[in-house]
Chains A and B, each alone.
Chain A
Amino acid sequence: MNRIFASRLLPLMATGLVLVALFAAAGAGYENFLSARVVLNLFKDRAFLGVVAVGMTFVILSGGIDLSVGAVMAFTTVFLAKVIGGLGWSAPVAMLAAVGIGVGFGMFQGWVIHFFRIPAFLVTLAGMFLARGMAFVVSPRSVEIRSAFYDDLGERGLPLGEGLLLTVGPLMYLVVVAAGMVVAHGTRFGRNVYALGGNEASAALMGLPVGATRVGVYGVCGGCAALGGVISTLALSSGDPTRGTGLELDAIAAAVIGGTVLTGGRGWVFGTFLGVLILGTIKTILDFDGSLDPAWLRIASGGLLLGFILLQKLIARQSVS
Chain B
Amino acid sequence: MSELLHAEGIVKRFGSFTALKGVTFRLRAGEIHALMGENGAGKSTLIKVLTGVHEADGGTVTVAGRGIRAASPREAEAAGISTVYQEVNLLPNLSVAENILMGRQPMRGPFIRHGEVRRRARAALARLGLEVDVGALLGTFPVAVQQMTAIARALDQEARVLILDEPTSSLDARESEELFAVMRRLRDEGMGIVFVSHFLDQIYAVSDRITVLRDGSLVGTWEAAGLPRLELVSHMIGKEVTAGGGDGGVVSGGGAEAFRVEGLERKGTVGPLTFSVMAGEATGLAGLLGSGRTETARMLFGIDAATGGRVVAGGETVDLGSPRAAMAAGLAFCSEDRKVEGIIPSLSVRENIVLAMQASRGVLRRVPRAEQEALAAKFIAALNIRTRGPETPIGTLSGGNQQKCLLARWMAMQPRLLILDEPTRGIDVGAKAEIEALCGELRRAGMSILFISAELEEVVRNCSRVVVLRDRRQAAVLDGPAISLRTIMETVAAS
Contact = CB atoms under 8 A, between A and B. Distances in A.
When A and B assemble into the complex, do they touch directly, with CB atoms less than 8 Å apart? yes
Interface of A: 1, 4, 8, 182, 186-188, 191-192, 194-195, 197-199, 201-208, 265-266, 319
Contacts of A201: 89
A265 B91 contact: yes
Given A4-B137, A8-B137, A198-B94, 12 more contacts: A1-B133, A186-B112, A187-B111, A191-B94, A194-B91, A199-B91, A205-B73, A206-B90, A206-B91, A206-B102, A207-B73, A207-B103
A197 B91 CA distance: 9
Contacts of A192: 103
Contact of B140 (A4, A203, A205): A4
Interface string B71-114: 01110010000000100011111100010001101010011101
B427 interface: no
B245 interface: no
A187 B73 CA distance: 22
Contacts of A202: 89-91
A206 B101 CA distance: 10
A198 B98 CA distance: 13
A8 B138 CA distance: 12
11 contacts: A1-B133, A4-B140, A186-B112, A191-B102, A191-B112, A194-B93, A202-B89, A203-B91, A206-B103, A208-B103, A265-B93
Interface in B228-245: none
Interface band, chain B: 20 to 34
A188 B89 contact: no
A1 to B, nearest CB: 7
Contacts of A198: 91-94
A172 B368 CA distance: 68
Contacts, number: 67
Nearest to A4: B140
A195 B73 contact: no
A195 B112 contact: no
B73 A194 contact: no
B89 A205 contact: yes
A8 B94 CA distance: 11
A302 B85 CA distance: 41
Contacts of A205: 53, 73, 85, 89
A191 B112 CA distance: 10
B370 to A, nearest CB: 40
B205 interface: no
Contacts of B73: 204-207
B139 interface: yes
B68 interface: no
B437 interface: no
A188 B107 contact: yes
Give the one of A198, A266, A319 with max B CB within 10 A. Answer: A198
A50 B153 CA distance: 38
B328 interface: no
A8 B72 CA distance: 34
B91 A187 contact: no
Contact of B112 (A8, A188, A265): A188
Instruction: Give the top 6 A-B pairs by smallest Cβ distance, nearest first.
Output: A207-B74, A265-B93, A198-B93, A198-B91, A202-B89, A186-B111
A1 B134 CA distance: 12
Interface in B129-169: 133, 136-137, 139-140, 153
B136 A4 contact: yes
Contacts of B136: 1, 4
A266 B137 CA distance: 11
Contacts of B112: 186-188, 191
A203 B91 CA distance: 8
Contacts of A1: 133, 136
Contact of A195 (B85, B102, B133): B102
A97 B136 CA distance: 42
Nearest to B105: A188
Contacts of A4: 136-137, 140
